Structure 1
Amino acid sequence: MTQSSAPKNLQNSLITYARSTKKMLKNMMEDHQKSLDFLSNQVSELTNKVLLLNAEVLKKHTDPFLHRPFQTHGFDCTDIKDYFGTNSKAPSGIYIIQPEGTHFQFEAFCDMDYRGGGWTVLQKRIDGVIDFQRTWLDYMDGFGELSGEFWLGLRKTFCILNQKNTSFMLNIALEAEDGSSAYATYDNFWIEDEKTAFIMHVGRYFGTAGDAIRGYRKEDNQNALPFSTYDMDNDNCYPACSFNGTKITSCSQEKSRSGWWFSQCGLANLNGVHRVTRGVDISGIQWDTWKENNTTIKIKSASMKIKRTHYPFK
C-alpha cells in the first residue's frame, strides 16, 4: 500500500463506520419511539378504565338506597303494570318477577313511563361504564347494573318470552350523539331455547330507525339466527365470509368481541364498544339503517324492551 492511499482508506473506513453508527442510532431511536408509543397507549387505556371504574363506584356510593327493588311480584313488567290497574301508576324501577312456569325469581328493570309503560328492559347502553365484550356464559346469565347499563341475560329473557298464551313486541330505542332519537319496533318477538343457541325471531317492523335486523340484502338478515360470542361462534361465517372486502371467520371477533345475533355480519349490533365514552372510531353500537343524508348515525345510547301484546291473565 502506498503512503498516499493509506489516508484515503482510513477516510473511507471512517465514513463507513459513521454511516453504520448513524443507522444503528436511527434504529435504536425508532425502537425507542415504538416502545414509548406502546407505553403511552397502555397508560391511556388504563386511565380510561380507572375513570370508568371511578364513575361506577361514585354512582353506587352517592345513591345507595335509590335502586333497591320494589317488593312487587309479577310474571313480567306488563303483568305488574296491569296489577296496579288504573287506580295508581307503578313507578319505573327494579322489580322482582317470576315468569309463569318457572321456579325462580329474579330482578328486572320495568319501564313504566315509555309508551304506556309495562316494558321489561332486556338491555341498556348509556355511558359505556359496563364492558359488553363478554363470554357466552356472561351473555346467558346476564351482567351489569339494572340501575344503569346491563344485559338481562338470554336465559331470563327466554323464560319471559316463552310464557303460555303470550306474545311480545320488541322495542329498540336509539339516541344519537347529537341528541336526536329513533326507534324500531317488532311484533311477535321470541327466542328459542339454549339448545338452539337462542335463535331470535321477529315479526313485522315499524318505526323510524329502519329494519336493521333484516337489513337490505339476504346476507344481512339476522332474523331466525342464533346468538354468537367470541368464544361461541354461531354466525353465518363458516368457514369464512366477506366483511368490508375482508375475509373473516368470526363476526364477534370482528365486532370487538361483542355478543349478538350475527349474520355475515349484519347491520345491527347493540352490544358493540361504546364509541363515545371510549373515544375510538370502531364498530360501536350499530343500527346501520338509521341514516341521515345517506350517512349512518353514530349512536350514543340504546335499549331493548319487551311488552306483552296479549294479556291472558286479566
Structure 2
Amino acid sequence: MMHLYAAILIFCHIVFHRGECTLTSDYSMPSAKVSELTNKVLLLNAEVLKKQTDPFLHRPFQTHGYDCTDIKDNFGPNSKAPSGIYIIQPEGTHFPFEAFCDMDYRGGGWTVLQKRIDGTIDFQRTWLDYMDGFGELSGEFWLGLRKTFCVLNQKNTSFMLNIALEAEDGSFAYATYDNFWIEDEKTAFIMHVGRYFGTAGDAIRGNRKEDNQNAMPFSTYDMDNDNCYPSCSFNDTKVTSCSQHRSRSGWWFNKCGSANLNGVHRVTRGVEISGIQWDTWMENNSSIKIKSASMKIKRTHYPFFK
C-alpha cells in the first residue's frame, strides 16, 4: 500500500508539472482521467513488486568480477581486496547480484554460499526460499541455489568447497572438497563433490554406504527428493521426509545422512535435536555440538591447499 501511495504521489507530481494534474478537495477530476491514472499507478506498483521479488535484480552498478576469486586475482598486485559484499556477474549470465567475498580465509577469494553464526535467521524455509536465497549477507544467509549454480557452472572453471565449523566449546574444524558443482534446477540441483581433505571428517559421504549424500538432489519440507519413499529407517526411526525429520530444513538429504548445515541453531533456540549437523566430527564417540558453520567456494587454480 505504501508503494501504491508513493506511486500516486510521484505520478501526480510529474503530471502536475505538465499542467495536467490537479488534486482538489471536491474530487472534480474527470472519471476517464481517474481511470487512466489508476491504471498507470497499478502498472507502477506491479513493477515495484516485480523488482522486489526478482532474485536477479537489474542493478545500475558496475560489477566487480565474475566471482570472488576473479575479484581477488584482478584487484592489483600491490593491494588486497577486503572481505565484504561485492557485486558479481558469473560468466555467461545476464544479471549481476550481490555476494559476500571472504578475502581473509586461506588466501582469500572465497564466494560464501552459506553462513550460520548466532541463529538470528530462520533456516526452516520453503523450496522457493532456498532457490532464491535469504538472510543478510553481512550476517547469516543462504546465497541461493540458482545463484550458486551460476557461479559454479562458468566455462573452463572448477571450484573447491570449504566447510568451516566452530563447536560450542570454541574449537574449530573444516572439511574441503575439490571439484564441487551442482546440476541445474531441472534435477533439483544435484550436488557433486570430489576428493575430501580436512579435520572434520567426510560427513557428506558418511561412514556407511547408505549415508552417502554425494550425487543427491536438494530437498525441503515442501519438495522431497531424499530417497525416503514411501519411508526409510534412520537411527531406528521410521522417516517419510528427512527435511521434516530435521526440523524442516533444506539440504542434500539421502535417508537422511550425516551432514546438514541448515538445521535449527541449537545454541540460541535451546533445543537438543536437529541442530547443525556434521556427524563425522566427533569427540569421545559423540558428535560435536556445532555453534557456527559456513560454506564457501573458490576457483581451483592450483593443487589442493595444504
TM superposition score normalised by structure 1:
0.76
| Residue in structure 2 matching 1:235, options 206, 226, 232 | 226
Number of aligned residues:
242
Larger Rg: 1
Name the counterpart of 1:10.
none
SS in 2 for 1:84: coil
Distance 1:140 1:238 in 2: 23
- Relative to its length, the structure with more helix (as a share) is 1
Name the counterpart of 2:135.
144
Any conservation in 1 of the 2:63–2:89 contact (CA below 8 Å)?
no
Name the counterpart of 2:186.
195
Distance 2:217 2:177 in 1: 18
Name the counterpart of 2:108.
117
Name the counterpart of 1:88.
79
Name the counterpart of 1:58.
none
| Residue in structure 2 matching 1:217, options 183, 208, 213 | 208
Distance 1:183 1:72 in 2: 31
Q: Mapping of 1:24-39 within 5 angstroms?
A: none
Distance 1:177 1:248 in 2: 28
Instruction: Give the Å deviation of 1:117.
Output: 0.1
SS in 1 for 2:203: coil
Name the counterpart of 1:184.
175
Instruction: Give the Å deviation of 1:310.
Output: 3.4
Distance 1:230 1:220 in 2: 19
Instruction: Give the Å deviation of 1:71.
Output: 6.1
Distance 2:276 2:77 in 1: 37
Name the counterpart of 1:45.
none
Distance 1:245 1:255 in 2: 15
Distance 2:205 2:153 in 1: 23
Q: CA-atom RMSD, angstroms?
A: 1.1
Instruction: Give the Å deviation of 1:85.
Output: 3.0
SS in 1 for 2:274: coil
| Residue in structure 1 matching 2:121, options 126, 130, 133 | 130
Any conservation in 1 of the 2:63–2:96 contact (CA below 8 Å)?
no
| Residue in structure 2 matching 1:247, options 214, 222, 238 | 238
| Residue in structure 1 matching 2:290, options 281, 291, 299 | 299
Question: One-letter code of the match for 1:113?
Answer: D
Residue ranges of structure 1 left out of the alignment (5+ in a row): 1-69
SS in 1 for 2:129: helix
| Residue in structure 2 matching 1:77, options 59, 68, 84 | 68
Question: One-letter code of the match for 1:282?
Answer: I
SS in 2 for 1:74: coil
Distance 2:300 2:293 in 1: 22
Name the counterpart of 1:99.
90
Residue ranges of structure 2 left out of the alignment (5+ in a row): 1-60
Distance 1:103 1:71 in 2: 13
Distance 1:71 1:283 in 2: 42
Any conservation in 2 of the 1:167–1:308 contact (CA below 8 Å)?
yes
| Residue in structure 1 matching 2:260, options 269, 273, 277 | 269
Distance 2:261 2:255 in 1: 16
Distance 2:137 2:113 in 1: 10
SS in 1 for 2:74: helix
Distance 1:105 1:242 in 2: 43
Question: One-letter code of the match for 1:96?
Answer: I
Distance 2:203 2:238 in 1: 22
State whether structure 2 residue 165 is matched by structure 1 residue 174: yes
Any conservation in 2 of the 1:72–1:80 contact (CA below 8 Å)?
no
| Residue in structure 2 matching 1:281, options 272, 281, 288 | 272
Instruction: Give the Å deviation of 1:73.
Output: 1.3
Any conservation in 2 of the 1:109–1:146 contact (CA below 8 Å)?
yes
